[in-house]
A and B are shown apart, each in its own frame.
Chain A
Amino acid sequence: MASLREIKGRISSTKKTKQITKAMQMVSASKLNRAEENAKSFVPYSEKIQEVVASIAQGGGDASHPMLEEREVKRRGYVIVTSDRGLAGAYNASILRKAYQDIWNNHTSADEYRIIAIGRIGRDFFRKRNMAVDKEITGVADQPDFEDIKELASETVDLFTEEDIDELYVYYSHYVSAITQEVKKTKVLPLNDISAEQATKSSSASYEYEPNQEEILSVLLPQYAESLIYGALIDSKASEHAARMTAMKSATDNADDLIDDLSLTYNRARQAAITQEITEIVGGASALE
């Protein structure tokens, strides 16, 4: 059995770890609240933009734009959203596993895909496996502004416009609730299915277009695609905080269990030591008689 001193040392170090995990849990909980609000304030923007795109697609049959049309896929772009820091349970691992599998199953050479990494963990993951990361952004704030990723988003959308990539997918973690997050794979470009899905529920307003539909689509669609990337990012951030909160909660609970066990062992050992001492004293005294 370990000595009393050793057990005491382990108890106090576990207590210190518990303090840290507890603090991280509370920090994540408050960040989660704000991330949820951010995600909510993004909704009106994306709904409105979808409505206008859908009504254009529905209204005039002659409106066309490269972003609305599917073309032969020679190279695919993958935007992979992860966090900068770990200690968030399976959050990063599950996104990366899915993305890695998909890339591995669909492509035979490195020439067929481009990886755009948001977050340090994702970037390092692909680098370690010798897969080129074409664009990256790390150190995104916990409550990101659109401004923070605007450049990356518009460069990514440009890749599609310049026909460097023919499809664009985003992998991120969708926030369902504080205890559930699911990995999602969303096709951002081309936007060929937006019209069918949205047309039915959008209002029947028919617009005048100033100057014409093509001009408007050329402004609207890149903006829409960029906003989808941003939407994925803020959704992911909410998931990240939720995942970290849950992970830290279970770490705190584990630390509690460990402390209980250790205290029990400590008390037993202490009692055994006392009993032994008494036996020794009694033994010593009876020897003198």
Chain B
Amino acid sequence: MSTLTVSVVTPDGPVLEEDFNMVSAKAESGELGILPGHIPMVAPLTISAVRLKGDGDSRRIAVSGGFLEVRPDKVTILAQSAELPSDIDVERARKAKERAERRLKEKQDDIDFRRAELALKRAMNRLDVYNNNF
């Protein structure tokens, strides 16, 4: 079976570069499943988990936005942060979640509200990926 090379790149350096059979990700326009031989494509991602399926094993990565570039034999994910479950700082994510929830309750002006909402999403995404909640 043919494979796709998946590389995940962040400003802090490459996170992962391996071969997989399938990539499924949540783009802004909906769920995407990518198999080898896909036409070249670019799509923005939501704050979500990207799932990579290989022979027998599958991996999840928590991405915070960014986008996905697809070529027939290669998928590149460019995100401002991307973490494998083993790299997630659970304590920090939990604290970030509490902080964001508190801010949302206080309901300040719109910008802060939106920012807190995004922070909450990122924190929950990290926790979900860590706890394998899907």
Contacts and interface: CB of A to CB of B under 8 A. Distances in A.
Interface of A: 38, 41-42, 44-46, 48-49, 52, 56, 145-147, 150, 205-211, 215-216, 219-220, 223, 226-227, 230-231
Given A146-B80, A147-B81, A208 B42 contact: yes
Contacts of A49: 78
A48 B41 contact: no
A227 B13 CA distance: 12
Interface string B15-47: 000000000000111001000000111111000
Contacts of A56: 42
Contacts, number: 81
Interface of B: 9-14, 27-29, 32, 39-44, 65-67, 69, 71, 76, 78, 80-81
Contacts of B66: 219, 223
Given A150-B80, A208-B41, A42 B13 contact: yes
Contacts of B65: 219, 223
Nearest to B11: A146
A230 B37 CA distance: 34
A48 B69 contact: yes
Contacts of B28: 211, 215, 219
Given A209-B42, A219-B67, 15 more contacts: A42-B12, A44-B14, A48-B9, A48-B76, A146-B10, A146-B81, A147-B81, A206-B40, A207-B42, A208-B40, A208-B42, A210-B29, A219-B66, A223-B78, A223-B80
B40 A45 contact: no
B109 to A, nearest CB: 14
